[in-house]
Amino acid sequence: MEPTGGAEPVSQRGIGWRTAALLLAGSLLLGGCSRNDTPAAPIPDRPVTVAVTARVTTTDPAAAVDEGSQFYAYNVFQRLMVPQVGLPALKTDLATECRFVDELTYSCIIPKGRSFTNGHALTSQDVKFSIERAQRLAVPGTGAAMLDSLASINANNPQLVEFKLKHPDNNFGFAISTPAASIVDEEAYPADALWPQDQAPISSGPYLPPDRSLDTLVFAKNPRYTGPTFSRRPEVVVKTFSSPALMDRAVATGTVDLVWRGGTPPKDSTINLLPEVLPGADVSRLIWNPKSPRRGDAALRGRVKDSTGNLRTLHSLIPAGIPFAADTFATAAAPAPGPAAELTLAQSSNNDLSRDLLPQVQQALQANGIRVTIAPDPSQADLILDAGGVTTSTPVAWLQAWWEHPLPGQERRTSELIHALRTDPSLEGREKTALTIQQQAAVDATVLPLTQRDRTFYRHPSLVVDKEFKNWMGPGYQLGLWGWTW
């Protein structure tokens, strides 16, 4: 039986770009073929090597907000459920079954014999501890915010965990599938603090936690793992590059097999890496930092929205293809002139999309009299360019940057709207509420959609995804190491 997770019904409109991405990726990769008739290169006698630009900033899944840390969490840790790539749908991971027993009780069965990398048994008590820990830590931007409907957790049976909800929540299954809800060892992890970054994490996911290094992470297959994202290779190497030039040098030597979010490989490479396209997979947004002292200035928020209008190809906070997407952000005409202002701008992840857009956003704002300084730390910036994926592809998740940090005085309104979206039993009612939210978000202008475009990555001609394997990325198109093989 397909486990339930409160998924939105997929309407004809909701089939869209993310389903198309899966179909195209499957046709190109699962068969091991390419659009080019390039002869297959010799298969290297070494682990698959992946080149990325987004660094891992934390190894604690409860704090995984940026692209690199989400990638780490999805490959090292395990959750009760796993979201499908780019779709509002769930399948089991650690659990053998999860379902709503009634509208306020969500139950998951945990198999016997599961354990962590330190040998400790994994039971329902660890699940209870992990979810409650995420709630206590409450790191902004993580799936912990979506756990607010949870009233209590019953873990008296080692193989059964029951979640009691305060109210019906059609998004709860997705909330416990995010990195923040990853299962950690109750006997090892601190209940009220993040895991020390100088210690190797303890986990139960498809890969063993690699030692931290500046540029290279070696992911070894976890022999204790049993689940849908099991590894097809005994070892995968992930190399992080601080610039496209450094990545190009490595690619040119033929020592890189997969370029993920890195840009176009050089033509003088010893191996001709083949391009693959995921239609519409890259979404960018401009987000006001909730801590910014300038965020409360409605006129300034409006100037920022209008100034970036010419860059905007995405006109909704919910991307095209996700249920309830509605164009509420118009392409702006020439913005009204305003007084001189100063803002700081930072990027949340160092990837090819961010690198392209950062100077364009800066120039667009400065053309309207807003002096912009690029800041290295997004936590200290007024505006954050977000070009990473969300933790799960649902309307609630895509709207989270708006509803998690309401404007002063709008807390009750925001809470009532998001509550209605998560509790209304009718599709028509949820669609109406989602439209109201998106219209209000356009007025608030605290989160601005910018672009939606195809993503291109490059692979070794002999590198394929196993035909039986369907979940080869994270739900927001985060890099999944499992499944890749020669």
Please give the angle made by the CA atoms of 434, 436 and 438, to the nearest 5 degrees: 70
Rg (CA), the chain: 22
Instruction: Identify whether residues 228 and 321 lie together within a single domain.
Output: no
The CATH number of the domain holding residue 322 is 3.10.105.10
Residue 396 within any structural domain of the chain? yes
Q: Residue 437 burial (CB < 10 Å; 0-12/13-18/19+)?
A: buried
Query: What is the reported pLDDT for 193?
Result: 97
Residue 3 within any structural domain of the chain? no
Amino acid identity of residue 148, one-letter, is D
> What are the C-alpha distances in Å from 363 to residues 304, 351, 357, 359?
12, 19, 10, 6
Q: What is the mean pLDDT of residues 400-422?
A: 97
> What are the C-alpha distances in Å from 126 to residues 42, 78, 130, 252, 425?
45, 12, 6, 46, 32
Give 412-465 pLDDT, tens digit per residue: 999 999 999 999 999 999 999 999 999 999 999 999 999 999 989 999 999 987
In the three-class reduction of DSSP (H, G, I as helix; E, B as strand; rest coil), residue 9 is classed as coil
Of 186 and 14, the structure prediction assigns the larger pLDDT to: 186
**Contact predicate 170/6, CB 8 Å:** yes
Least confident of 30-44, 196-210, 289-303: 30-44
Block residue for tokens 């659990």: 95
Query: What is the reported pLDDT for 25?
Result: 42
pLDDT cut 90: percent of the chain above it: 66
The answer to whether residue 39 scores a pLDDT higher than 70 is no
**Contact predicate 304/286, CB 8 Å:** yes
Query: What is the reported pLDDT for 188?
Result: 98
Give 306-317 pLDDT, tens digit per residue: 999 999 999 999
Give 103-158 pLDDT, tens digit per residue: 999 999 999 999 999 999 999 999 999 999 999 999 999 999 999 999 999 999 99
Instruction: Identify whether residues 169 and 134 lie together within a single domain.
Output: yes
Instruction: Identify whether residues 232 and 308 lie together within a single domain.
Output: no
The tokens describing 303, both together, are: 């100037």
Task: List the beta bridge partners of residue 161.
Answer: 108
Q: Residue 191 burial (CB < 10 Å; 0-12/13-18/19+)?
A: exposed
Compute the distance between CA of residue 357 and CA of residue 350 in angstroms, rounded to an integer. Answer: 11
Compute the distance between CA of residue 180 and CA of residue 63 in angstroms, rounded to an integer. Answer: 7
Instruction: Identify whether residues 71 and 219 lie together within a single domain.
Output: yes
Q: What is the mean pLDDT of residues 187-191?
A: 98
The H-or-E segment that residue 303 falls in is helix 298-307
Instruction: Identify whether residues 210 and 322 lie together within a single domain.
Output: no
Give 340-391 pLDDT, tens digit per residue: 899 999 999 888 889 899 999 999 999 999 999 999 999 999 999 999 878 8
**Contact predicate 472/480, CB 8 Å:** yes
Instruction: Identify whether residues 292 and 202 lie together within a single domain.
Output: no
Which residues, other chains included, contact 460 with Cβ-Cβ below 8 Å and sequence gap of 6+?
41, 44, 257, 258, 271, 273, 274
Compute the distance between CA of residue 17 and CA of residue 322 in angstroms, rounded to an integer. Answer: 8
The answer to whether residue 10 scores a pLDDT higher than 70 is no
Instruction: Identify whether residues 331 and 405 lie together within a single domain.
Output: yes
Compute the distance between CA of residue 393 and CA of residue 83 in angstroms, rounded to an integer. Answer: 8
Instruction: Identify whether residues 87 and 161 lie together within a single domain.
Output: yes
Residue 97 within any structural domain of the chain? yes
C-alpha neighbours within 13 Å on the C-beta side of residue 242: 2
In the three-class reduction of DSSP (H, G, I as helix; E, B as strand; rest coil), residue 241 is classed as coil
Chain centroid, CA 122 distance in Å: 25
Give 50-66 pLDDT, tens digit per residue: 999 888 999 999 999 99
* DSSP output for 319-333: PTTSTT----SPPP-
Instruction: Identify whether residues 419 and 466 lie together within a single domain.
Output: no
Query: What is the reported pLDDT for 4?
Result: 40
Which residues form the domain of 94?
A: 48-273+460-485
Compute the distance between CA of residue 331 and CA of residue 201 in angstroms, rounded to an integer. Answer: 46
Q: What are phi and psi of 277, to 5 degrees?
A: -115, 135
Task: List the beta bridge partners of residue 217.
Answer: 238
Query: What is the reported pLDDT for 30?
Result: 40
Instruction: Identify whether residues 124 and 250 lie together within a single domain.
Output: yes
Of 213 and 231, the structure prediction assigns the larger pLDDT to: 231
Residue 28 within any structural domain of the chain? no
pLDDT cut 70: percent of the chain above it: 89
Q: CB atoms < 10 A from the CB of 438, how many?
A: 24
The answer to whether residue 272 scores a pLDDT higher than 90 is no
Compute the distance between CA of residue 8 and CA of residue 423 in angstroms, rounded to an integer. Answer: 12
Compute the distance between CA of residue 367 and CA of residue 78 in angstroms, rounded to an integer. Answer: 47
Edge-to-edge strand list for the sheet holding 97-102:
97-102, 105-109, 160-165, 150-154
Which residues, other chains included, contact 363 with Cβ-Cβ below 8 Å and sequence gap of 6+?
none
The tokens describing 105, both together, are: 């009780």
Residue 300 within any structural domain of the chain? yes
The answer to whether residue 243 scores a pLDDT higher than 70 is yes
Query: What is the reported pLDDT for 333?
Result: 65
Instruction: Identify whether residues 265 and 284 lie together within a single domain.
Output: no
Of 482 and 389, the structure prediction assigns the larger pLDDT to: 482
Residue 39 within any structural domain of the chain? no
C-alpha neighbours within 13 Å on the C-beta side of residue 201: 27
The answer to whether residue 83 scores a pLDDT higher than 90 is no
At 29, the pLDDT band (50, 70, 90 cuts) reads very low
Query: What is the reported pLDDT for 91?
Result: 87
Block residue for tokens 């890259």: 282
Residue 27 within any structural domain of the chain? no
At 211, the pLDDT band (50, 70, 90 cuts) reads confident
At 470, the pLDDT band (50, 70, 90 cuts) reads low
At 86, the pLDDT band (50, 70, 90 cuts) reads low
Query: What is the reported pLDDT for 442?
Result: 97
The CATH number of the domain holding residue 213 is 3.40.190.10
With b for 16 or more beta-carbon neighbours within 10 A and e for fewer, the 260-286 pattern comes to bbbbebeeebebbbbebebbbbbbbbb
The answer to whether residue 33 scores a pLDDT higher than 80 is no
Number of domains in the chain: 2
Of 203 and 88, the structure prediction assigns the larger pLDDT to: 203
**Contact predicate 481/238, CB 8 Å:** yes
In the three-class reduction of DSSP (H, G, I as helix; E, B as strand; rest coil), residue 355 is classed as helix
**Interstrand relation of 216-220 and 235-240 (parallel, antiparallel or unpaired):** antiparallel
Q: What are phi and psi of 216, to 5 degrees?
A: -130, 130
Q: What are phi and psi of 369, to 5 degrees?
A: 80, 15
- For the chain, report the end-to-end CA distance as a whole number of angstroms: 33
**Contact predicate 250/258, CB 8 Å:** no
Residue 6 within any structural domain of the chain? no
At 485, the pLDDT band (50, 70, 90 cuts) reads confident
Instruction: Identify whether residues 159 and 183 lie together within a single domain.
Output: yes
Q: What is the mean pLDDT of residues 246-261?
A: 89
